């Protein structure tokens, strides 16, 4: 099971822009049918656009901005995002959410004796753990954290076992 994030933000922005453009066109068309003064004067807009040339700066800037926006939307649709559900081994089509996966590993690292604070980042092929301790001799804490996370990973059984990288920072108390 590999669930990718939904592309809801680019889709919502695109839908909002298209809906606004359609609503504006509909309002102007209805105003013209009813014989009222439209919000956008079609003749004045057509005259201004007719006077522009392809090499004019406003045309080039607008074209570049539209092309850049289109490229961003295409890349958002094509490039894979972070997995929201990480696949687990087993006969069933099962997975663990990225949030619960990280919090379980963070809890395992925090239970190691001498660990005061844990920061954990789950990446595609690695897990980065930053541990803080107040011990004056922090020997072996990094290895203990690595073993605790490895044991928890054995219990979770992800399809791709990430490499665990632990950084230890000893904080000296000033009292």
107 and 151 Cβ atoms separated by less than 8 Å: no
Angle at 49 between CA 43 and CA 51, to 5 degrees: 105
Give the domains, in start order, of the chain with CATH numbers.
Answer: 8-78 (no CATH), 85-170 (3.30.70.1350)
Summarised one tens digit per residue, pLDDT across range 66-117 is: 999 999 888 888 887 777 777 788 767 788 888 888 999 999 999 998 899 9
Summarised one tens digit per residue, pLDDT across range 1-54 is: 556 667 777 888 889 999 999 999 999 999 989 999 888 888 888 898 899 999
* Among candidate residues 174, 108, 172, 175, the one with its CA nearest the CA of residue 135: 172
Residue 71 Cα to chain centre, angstroms: 18
């Amino acid at each position: 099971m590999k669930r990718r994030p939904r592309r809801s933000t680019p889709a919502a922005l695109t839908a909002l822009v298209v809906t606004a453009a359609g609503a504006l066109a509909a309002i102007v068309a209805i105003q013209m049918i009813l014989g009222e003064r439209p919000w956008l004067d079609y003749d004045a807009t057509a005259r201004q656009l007719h006077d522009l040339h392809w090499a004019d700066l406003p045309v080039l800037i607008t074209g570049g901005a539209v092309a850049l926006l289109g490229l961003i939307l295409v890349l958002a649709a094509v490039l894979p995002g972070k997995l929201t559900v990480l696949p687990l081994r087993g006969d069933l089509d099962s997975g663990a959410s990225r949030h619960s996966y990280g919090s379980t590993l963070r809890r395992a690292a925090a239970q190691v004796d001498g660990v005061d604070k844990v920061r954990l980042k789950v990446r595609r092929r690695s897990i980065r753990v930053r541990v803080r301790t107040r011990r004056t001799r922090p020997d072996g804490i990094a290895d203990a954290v690595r073993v605790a996370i490895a044991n928890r990973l054995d219990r979770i059984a992800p399809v791709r076992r990430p490499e665990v990288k632990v950084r230890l920072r000893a904080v000296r108390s000033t009292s």
